[in-house]
Chain A
Amino acid sequence: MEIKLKNLTKIFPGNPKKGIPDTRAVDNLDVVVPDGKLMGLLGPSGCGKSTTLYMIAGLLEPTSGEIWFGDEDVTDLEPEKRGIGLVFQNYALYPHMTVYKNVAFPLTNLRIEEKVVDKAGQPVLDSEGKQEIKRRHLTKDEIDKIVRETARVVQIEPFLERKPNQLSGGQQQRVAIARALVKKPKVLLLDEPLSNLDARLRLQTREEIRRIQQSTGITTVFVTHDQEEAMSISDEIVVMKLGVMQQRGVPQDVYNDPCNKFVANFLGTPPINFFAGEIKGNKIYIGKEMVREITEKKVPDQKCSVGIRPEGIVVDPAGPFHFHVDRILTMGRDIMLVSTHPEAQSNTKFLVDAFVKVGVGDVAVTVKPHKCFAFSLEEGEKRII
């Protein structure tokens, strides 16, 4: 099911008496999550991504704007009527119930509609000649079947009789997903599902989420502040800042083609390096050194901020760009050059292949043109090239 957010806005009222201003948590958000896709909502903390998710879930009421599930306007619908599954940041598993009961709990509340048939299997018609529909709870056997099936999908079968506090973080996380999935929701919402896991488990679990999402084909919205996480499993990402959507697209496209300095800075580890620079005659300069020639279009001369991705350099004694290497960190596959440059805003970090011979001291490099961006110094810090 497609999720459509139209001009979604959430304002948390402040207290004028105490001089606390209103908070615009989400500002005119317009996003479409295509059916069956995994969408990552990405941004630093306080950017309104969780607020957006809770509005989709129905736990928060939007100040203005609309939320559509397919062709249905669900803006004013109660959360229980929206048919969603939600995985909370700290899972919110009922601590007093076993895993089995946790997963079965949504099913015990569910009422299904069933066509009434007589003993011969013929449909029973009501007084208006329509098929009579009976609403009923699921039976114990039906619940058991669904719970075990879901447990198999998320691989928690061995722990069904345990209490949540007897499980590791990763196992709890899968239980939370099972609980969200068990009533076959139309939409799955995940609120920072990996933030409570250790680094290795995080890698494992995000694969798991991807696998479960693809095997169930459920439309999923995923909130995270970890760009690596979002980029690795999302079909599409939305980058937000202070309630405003910055950019939306396929992760690699957003990474390769950031629309402003914020997005460029937010995506990528180690982060992109910024230098004070200048565009003169369609060439980007850092200090007096020309790092990139602009061939695509004509750009007026101006001061700018130059961003170079860590992997965006090639060590080349004849290269035009120089910086001073302070330390060399071996990362295994790559080595990281922790360096300084007079025009850089802070320590810069560059990655080169492990076999490249570099020593501490000055080094000359060429800059890969597609890894080098120029950003305007004006408000919004839009990308120039």
Chain B
Amino acid sequence: MEQATQTQVKPATPAENTPIDSTELHRNALDRDTKGGKQPKSFFKRLFKGRERVSADAGEKNNWKAWLYLAPSLILLAVFTFYPLINTIVIAFLKDYNYVTQTNSGFTLDNFGTVLGLVGQTSSQTTVYLWQCTKQVTDGVTHYYFSTSSGVLTEVYFQTDVIKYALPNTLLITFITVPISIIISLLISIGLNSIKAFKKVLQTIFFVPYVTNAIAVGMVFAVLFDSKGIINFVFGLSGNNSFWIDQGAGLGNKPAWMPMFALCVYIVWHSLPFKILIFLSGLQNIDKQYYDAAKIDCAGKWKTMMNVTVPLLSPQILYIMITSFIASFKEYTSVVGLFGMPSTDGGGTKNMYTIVYYIYEQIKGNVGYGGAAAVLLFIIIMIFTAIQFQVSKKRVYY
């Protein structure tokens, strides 16, 4: 009886006067929620709106308090994040910037050109563009020549380390290590989540690499992959097949995939713990009922994983994908840790160069080039992140 009276109570009248099916209303409300509707769309708009409301409520005079509370983090962010960030972009567009004397010779785009190997210099420090040069191949080595106004042919030197080594290596590292480490960490975390005994112990063990120093572990890997190291011993490798990381001028002909392989193994190993941590916490948030439902629906283990676990873990997978893409685009410490230098052939070529390694080396070189490379890397990361967000829109369920 009490229930009967409750149902008599009319729901709040909708804005329109026409009667609306309650389910219809519900759906509309949902549509509003999911599609954004009239809500302020951007984060900044919402932030601004929130600020307006607060100041209207609390009065303008309280504003300084908010700024006071924000000050410590704002100051730190300004000094160590925003200033370097803006400065990097500025430096990237300055010619001959000297960070000691803070002098430069004006605006230029040549820094980008130099990094990409489009702008070269003659021995007399004249700037020449690639399309002004003539190409000559002698003995398999490409030379570029520029004829000056007086008709004298001078050789032009281009920086090719970024285009030839740093960029391909960075992309290679990213596209090899990111998918592999995600798959491995996903499998490990699913395994960890489904066992009961030793769960805490194993969790700790798997997390250990995260708290170890990258350089120190890199040196351990260098020992493992040494030509007389345990890897070669276990797999019985010798001769040309055993030089994973060894350096020396005499080893110039060994294939570059071997050090790259060792590098990728190390990067994957070192990046697992954080991913496992995130995936485990995600797995623990998945309602057990979905697994019960899958059992009732006769789904096997593999099918349950692909149809229930992975989709419900998709927010974590997206997060991990984006962060690890960014991290591996910035890969550099692993190269230092494993090889000590960007080269495995005694410095003949920079065959293990990465973009950030190049940027780092420009402290001793030309800071403008470093700034330009940093801006380029920033753009590359932006593009990849945007692509990932776009692709994931349909696949990620929140």
Interface residues of A (CB under 8 A from B): 57-59, 78-80, 84-86, 88, 90, 92, 94-97, 105-106, 109-110, 165-168, 170-171, 179-180, 183, 199-200, 228, 269-270, 331-332, 334, 336, 351
Interface residues of B (CB under 8 A from A): 1-7, 22-23, 26-27, 30-31, 34, 287, 289-290, 292-293, 295-300, 303, 307-308, 311-312, 314, 397
B292 CB contact (under 8 Å) in A88, A171, A199: A88
Q: How far does the Cβ of B396 sit from chain A's closest Cβ, in whole Å?
A: 9
Is the Cβ of A336 less than 8 Å from the Cβ of B300? no
Is the Cβ of B299 less than 8 Å from the Cβ of A336? no
Q: How far does the Cβ of B3 sit from chain A's closest Cβ, in whole Å?
A: 5
Closest chain A residue to B295 by CB distance? A79
Is the Cβ of B1 less than 8 Å from the Cβ of A270? yes
A-B residue pairs, 7 tightest by C-beta = A96-B397, A92-B289, A106-B297, A80-B298, A96-B311, A109-B298, A92-B293
Q: How far does the Cβ of B145 sit from chain A's closest Cβ, in whole Å?
A: 61
Is the Cβ of A88 less than 8 Å from the Cβ of B23? no
B residues less than 8 Å from A331 (CB atoms): 1, 4-5
Q: How far does the Cβ of B12 sit from chain A's closest Cβ, in whole Å?
A: 14
B residues less than 8 Å from A57 (CB atoms): 296
Is the Cβ of B23 less than 8 Å from the Cβ of A168? yes
Q: For the complex, give the distance between the alpha carbons of A85 and B293 in Å.
A: 9
Q: How far does the Cβ of A12 sit from chain B's closest Cβ, in whole Å?
A: 16
Dominant secondary structure of chain B at its interface with chain A = helix
Is the Cβ of A171 less than 8 Å from the Cβ of B397? no
B residues less than 8 Å from A88 (CB atoms): 289, 292-293
Q: How far does the Cβ of B376 sit from chain A's closest Cβ, in whole Å?
A: 37
Is the Cβ of A179 less than 8 Å from the Cβ of B297? yes
Q: How far does the Cβ of B287 sit from chain A's closest Cβ, in whole Å?
A: 7
B residues less than 8 Å from A199 (CB atoms): 3, 6-7
B residues less than 8 Å from A90 (CB atoms): 289
Q: For the complex, give the distance between the alpha carbons of A170 and B296 in Å.
A: 22
B residues less than 8 Å from A96 (CB atoms): 311-312, 314, 397
B1 CB contact (under 8 Å) in A78, A170, A183, A351: A351
Is the Cβ of B296 less than 8 Å from the Cβ of A168? no
A-B contact pairs, 15 of them (CB 8 A): A58-B295, A79-B296, A86-B293, A90-B289, A92-B287, A97-B307, A105-B297, A105-B307, A106-B297, A109-B303, A166-B27, A171-B23, A183-B297, A199-B7, A332-B5
A residues less than 8 Å from B295 (CB atoms): 58-59, 78-80
Known interface pairs A92-B290, A269-B1; 8 further A-B residue pairs with C-beta atoms within 8 A, sorted by A's residue number: A58-B295, A59-B295, A78-B295, A90-B289, A94-B308, A96-B311, A109-B297, A179-B297
Q: For the complex, give the distance between the alpha carbons of A78 and B2 in Å.
A: 44
A residues less than 8 Å from B293 (CB atoms): 86, 88, 92, 94
B residues less than 8 Å from A183 (CB atoms): 297-298
Is the Cβ of B311 less than 8 Å from the Cβ of A59? no
Q: For the complex, give the distance between the alpha carbons of A96 and B292 in Å.
A: 16
B residues less than 8 Å from A58 (CB atoms): 295
Closest chain A residue to B396 by CB distance? A96
Q: For the complex, give the distance between the alpha carbons of A106 and B307 in Å.
A: 12
Is the Cβ of A109 less than 8 Å from the Cβ of B289? no
Q: How far does the Cβ of A95 sit from chain B's closest Cβ, in whole Å?
A: 6
Closest chain A residue to B1 by CB distance? A331
Looking at B26, B292, B314, which has the most chain A CB atoms within 10 Å of its CB? B292
Q: For the complex, give the distance between the alpha carbons of A94 and B287 in Å.
A: 10
Q: For the complex, give the distance between the alpha carbons of A171 and B22 in Å.
A: 12
B residues less than 8 Å from A109 (CB atoms): 297-300, 303
Is the Cβ of B290 less than 8 Å from the Cβ of A85? no
Is the Cβ of A166 less than 8 Å from the Cβ of B1? no
Q: For the complex, give the distance between the alpha carbons of A342 and B27 in Å.
A: 53
Is the Cβ of B296 less than 8 Å from the Cβ of A84? yes
B residues less than 8 Å from A179 (CB atoms): 297
Closest chain B residue to A336 by CB distance? B1
A residues less than 8 Å from B30 (CB atoms): 165-166
B299 CB contact (under 8 Å) in A95, A105, A167, A334: A105
**Knowing A92-B287, A109-B300 touch, does A59 contact B312 (C-beta < 8 A)?**
no
Q: How far does the Cβ of B43 sit from chain A's closest Cβ, in whole Å?
A: 23
Is the Cβ of A95 less than 8 Å from the Cβ of B312? yes
B residues less than 8 Å from A105 (CB atoms): 297, 299, 307
Looking at A88, A94, A165, which has the most chain B CB atoms within 10 Å of its CB? A94
Is the Cβ of B23 less than 8 Å from the Cβ of A170? yes
Q: How far does the Cβ of A192 sit from chain B's closest Cβ, in whole Å?
A: 13
Q: How far does the Cβ of A338 sit from chain B's closest Cβ, in whole Å?
A: 12
B residues less than 8 Å from A336 (CB atoms): 1
A residues less than 8 Å from B289 (CB atoms): 88, 90, 92
B residues less than 8 Å from A79 (CB atoms): 292, 295-296
B residues less than 8 Å from A351 (CB atoms): 1
Closest chain A residue to B27 by CB distance? A166
Is the Cβ of A168 less than 8 Å from the Cβ of B22? yes
Closest chain A residue to B395 by CB distance? A96
Q: For the complex, give the distance between the alpha carbons of A168 and B293 in Å.
A: 20
B residues less than 8 Å from A167 (CB atoms): 27
B residues less than 8 Å from A80 (CB atoms): 295-299
Q: For the complex, give the distance between the alpha carbons of A106 and B297 in Å.
A: 4
A residues less than 8 Å from B1 (CB atoms): 269-270, 331, 334, 336, 351
B residues less than 8 Å from A200 (CB atoms): 7
A residues less than 8 Å from B31 (CB atoms): 166
Q: How far does the Cβ of B308 sit from chain A's closest Cβ, in whole Å?
A: 7
A residues less than 8 Å from B300 (CB atoms): 109
